[in-house]
Amino acid sequence: MGYPATVDTGQIAPLALYDGEIADNGVVVVTANQIVFVGQTLRANATLHALRCQFNPGGSGHYDLGIYDSSGITPFAGGPGVLLAHTSANASVATSTAVQTPTLQGGDLLLAPGNYWLALWADNALDKFIRHTAAGVGMGVVLAGTVVAGPLPANASSVSGLATIGGSKPILIGLWTGGWS
């Protein structure tokens, strides 16, 4: 997928796709087969290479990280829509504190400026993800819902009970080719 000819390619790509707040101030435990979506805005062309999250001790399941476009209408227009890329449902969750940075299945993904949703799925209720609380600066929209089983679905419309949540968000970061490593 190339960039549209109307996009200004002279902008400087950001170091990573995140909402500006990556302070670790607690943990969040997800329910089994829950998907959490974190809204992100990309302001320049970039090539997504990998996704990052961090686990606290105690997990024993599987996870998948992915990125969705903003073509969804549930629970509002601009919500998560089509899965653009994901890492894998086969990566084992760390049982000790660990930063996970899996690469995308199928290789790097070219992204144009726009709104996107980073997503996290886990298959059990024991995994604890490093989070940022709503009390901090820069917390964007966070949505959650459930699926019957993983990995991340091809379209967010198949996620049951998708709704906004408050209080905390897992820290999810998209890493660019040539950006943070």
For the chain, the structural domain boundaries read: 21-176
Q: Give yes or no for a contact between 123 and 149, defined as CB atoms under 8 angstroms apart.
A: yes
- Prediction pTM value: 0.84
- Enter the CATH code of domain 21-176: 2.60.120
Rounded percentage of the chain residues whose pLDDT exceeds 70: 71
Residue 144 in tokens: 């959650």
Give the span between the Cα atoms of 80 and 119, in whole angstroms: 9
> How many CB atoms are closer than 10 A to CB 24?
12
> 52 or 137: whose pLDDT is higher?
52
